[in-house]
């Protein structure tokens, strides 16, 4: 779906190429830190945790609770916009909301995280979707709009792929510093010695590298540049943010636009949310990390290992993650470029009917909405986080 095109999921028909997976997880929580390890076979979670005083959280599994946990009501139609990485997930979320609450629906515009935040803080939408949490200035704007604190509520996790098109080269390894030099123009040809050194025995073409970047303000861009800034040992040197600072390449709108541009352009490379790379059948680079010399491909297992490094930076019911530790993992086999996607909401809406409807939608999202997300290239919310997330959602009014 083109970025900026409004979709009412009630009538939309969606199709994409997805990679499915099943896995098992072992999760523990100490304070605010998650340790998550995935292995193949069954998508279940053994949960063990202690708070700062040593009390246990107990055990459980990744489950979808009955739709009776959704308190329907409030405004019949909600309006939202933002993250294109969340686009396929939002399609599922809105359909499940409609099933849980007949007569209620969500109209969503996937126009990028920056636009989603701007439209939410500008009171044009009822909630925003973003792949990065609110910054200090945005928190202040959101609080003025809401008349109460705004919260970042993570609803799904997804990896960012470095996708490329080089004929005859379905496998390519990159590390943080080499990727940084590609995306800031320091490396301009596919047969550059730095790329060749990471791919011994592979003949790379003497062709120019055509960088494709997001022209719209994007949480995917923000997360990707944070990865480059953290993992490149100074090679990036451009900082991070929702605008692309590399200074080279062709700008396109949306994850779908970036994936489509690479799909039709020989010698091109981009950063794009995993499900969009899958839908376009794009080749994706394996990433060499600080945890070891072996390149790591995107998979359920490699993404789950990376989530193990996450900390909360928000307080109370504001569940924003500090994802910097994603980007330089200590655990071998961890895929490092991972984002958490958020719904950004008022803790107390000026219009109580909107608050009731937003709460019902979010209850559906963390209930039936989590089912099948793995089929779309996402990682569902693990149960221990879901418990804390449910508490925050119930407090929305």
Consult the annotation and say whether 219 binds a ligand.
yes
Residue 364 annotated as binding? no
Neighbouring CB atoms inside 10 A of 292's CB total 14
Q: How far apart are CA 211 and CA 271, in angstroms?
A: 9
Find out whether 106 and 78 touch, Cβ atoms under 8 Å. yes
- DSSP SS3 for 189: strand
Asked if residue 231 lies in contact with residue 268, where contact means CB atoms within 8 angstroms, the answer is: no
What is the longest distance spanned by two Cα atoms in the chain?
A: 63
Q: Check the annotation: does 220 bind a ligand.
A: yes
Q: Is 132 labeled as ligand-binding?
A: no
Query: Is residue 113 part of an annotated ligand binding site?
Result: yes
Please count the CA atoms within 13 angstroms of the CA of 88 that sit on its side-chain side.
25
232 is in an annotated binding site: no
Q: Strand 23-30's sheet: what is its strand order?
A: 33-40, 23-30, 45-50
Closest CA to 80 of 14, 155, 139, 161: 155
- Cβ atoms of residues 219 and 341 within 8 Å: yes
User: Which helix (H) or strand (E) segment is 300 a member of?
Assistant: helix 300-307
Name, in order, each residue with C-beta under 8 angstroms of 367's C-beta and a sequence gap of 6 or more: 64, 65, 66, 67, 69, 70, 96, 100
131 belongs to an annotated ligand binding site: yes
Q: What share of the chain is helix, strand, coil (3-state, %, to 5)?
A: 30, 25, 45
Whether 117 contacts 138, CB under 8 Å:
yes
Strand pairing partners for 270? 163
Q: How far is CA 294 from the centre of its chain?
A: 24
Q: Which token pair is 100?
A: 């849980």
- Per the annotation, does 268 bind a ligand? no
Cite the annotated binding site for phosphate by residue number.
83-85, 113, 131, 218-220
Cite the annotated binding site by residue number.
83-85, 113, 131, 218-220
């Amino acid at each position: 779906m083109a970025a900026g095109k409004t979709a009412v999921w009630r009538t939309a028909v969606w199709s994409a190429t997805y990679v499915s997976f099943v896995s098992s997880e072992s999760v523990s929580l100490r304070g605010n830190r998650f340790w998550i390890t995935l292995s193949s076979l069954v998508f279940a979670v053994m949960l063990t945790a202690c708070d700062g005083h040593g009390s246990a959280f107990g055990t459980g599994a990744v489950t979808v609770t009955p739709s009776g946990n959704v308190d329907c009501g409030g405004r019949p139609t909600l309006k939202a916009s933002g993250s294109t990485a969340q686009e396929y997930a939002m399609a599922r979320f809105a359909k499940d909301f409609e099933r849980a609450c007949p007569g209620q629906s969500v109209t969503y515009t996937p126009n990028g995280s920056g636009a989603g935040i701007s439209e939410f803080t500008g009171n044009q939408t009822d909630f925003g979707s973003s792949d990065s949490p609110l910054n200090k200035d945005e928190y202040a704007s959101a609080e003025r709009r809401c008349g109460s604190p705004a919260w970042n509520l993570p609803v799904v996790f997804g990896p960012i792929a470095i996708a490329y098109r080089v004929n005859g080269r379905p496998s390519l390894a990159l590390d943080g510093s080499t990727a940084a030099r590609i995306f800031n123009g320091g490396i301009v040809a596919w047969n550059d010695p730095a790329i060749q050194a990471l791919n011994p025995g592979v003949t790379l073409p003497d062709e120019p590298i055509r960088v494709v970047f997001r022209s719209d303000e994007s949480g995917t861009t923000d997360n990707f540049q944070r990865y480059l800034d953290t993992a490149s040992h100074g090679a990036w040197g451009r900082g991070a943010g929702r605008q692309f600072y590399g200074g080279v390449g062709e700008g396109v709108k949306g994850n779908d636009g970036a994936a489509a541009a690479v799909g039709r352009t020989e010698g091109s490379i981009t950063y794009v949310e995993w499900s969009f790379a899958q839908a376009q059948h794009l080749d994706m680079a394996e990433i060499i990390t600080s945890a070891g010399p072996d390149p790591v491909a995107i998979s359920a297992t490699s993404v789950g290992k990376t989530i193990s490094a996450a900390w909360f930076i928000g307080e109370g019911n504001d569940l924003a993650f500090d994802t910097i530790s994603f980007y330089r993992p200590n655990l071998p086999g961890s895929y490092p470029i991972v984002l958490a996607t958020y719904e950004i909401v008022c803790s107390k809406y000026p219009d109580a009917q909107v608050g009731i409807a937003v709460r019902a939608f979010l209850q559906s999202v963390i209930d039936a909405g989590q089912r099948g997300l793995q089929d779309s290239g996402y990682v569902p919310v693990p149960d221990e986080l879901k418990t804390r997330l449910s508490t925050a959602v119930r407090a929305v009014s």
